[in-house]
A and B are shown apart, each in its own frame.
Chain A
Amino acid sequence: MSEFFKSSSLSSSPSDMAAKKEAVMNGVRSEIALASAQELINKTNEKCFAKCIAKPGTSLSSSEETCLSRCLERYLETFNVISKTYSARLSREREQRQLNQI
């Protein structure tokens, strides 16, 4: 009985476990990164289509393409600005809470 218990709970070798742990973590990280990138691409597509393609023609005109590439740049810039100001706000609020607790 004790022998059975031992063998069933016996963990795999530490190096296997560490390798698998790393694999799981990297998998999670890359899935999250991929989902975020897809979200950004979809949003950009939606926003820039709305802004640049007033009336869809038989193909993209060169002025539409210019608008799209500038729009893409501006949307990414917006994302960065918002990301920066949001995390600044979060850390300010965290500091405030810590001060209030003292």
Chain B
Amino acid sequence: MDNVKFDEATQKELTTFLEREQAQARINSTVHNLTSMCWDKCVTGTPGSRFARGEESCLLNCVDRFMDTSLFIIKTIEGQRSQQS
């Protein structure tokens, strides 16, 4: 089956498939990073059989605040640049 050649339509389909999988993989890798970061920030106690109350709400807020931070930083830098010019 190694010498099977794909026709144009199939090549296009595979390209779309790969792009979609790559996008999903990027999202996945971001989730891994966020998990690591939010774990360090929020889960401070010895692991119990469930999260402490504060830990759980911290985790729920962690992603949104991280992304707000990123937006805020960008906005601030843009603001400074437009003041200078």
Q: State the A residues within 8 Å of B (CB).
A: 11-12, 16-17, 19-21, 23-25, 28-29, 32, 35-36, 39-40, 43, 47-48, 51-52, 67, 70-71, 73-75, 77-79, 81-83, 85-87, 89-90
CA distance A48 to B40 in the complex (A): 11
Q: State the B residues within 8 Å of A (CB).
A: 1, 3-7, 10, 13-14, 17-18, 21, 24-25, 27-32, 34-36, 38-40, 42-43, 46-49, 51, 56, 59-60, 62-64, 67
Partner among A32, A35, A86 whose Cβ is within 8 Å of the Cβ of B30: A86
Q: B62 contacts which chain A residues (CB < 8 A)? A: 82, 85
CA distance A57 to B21 in the complex (A): 44
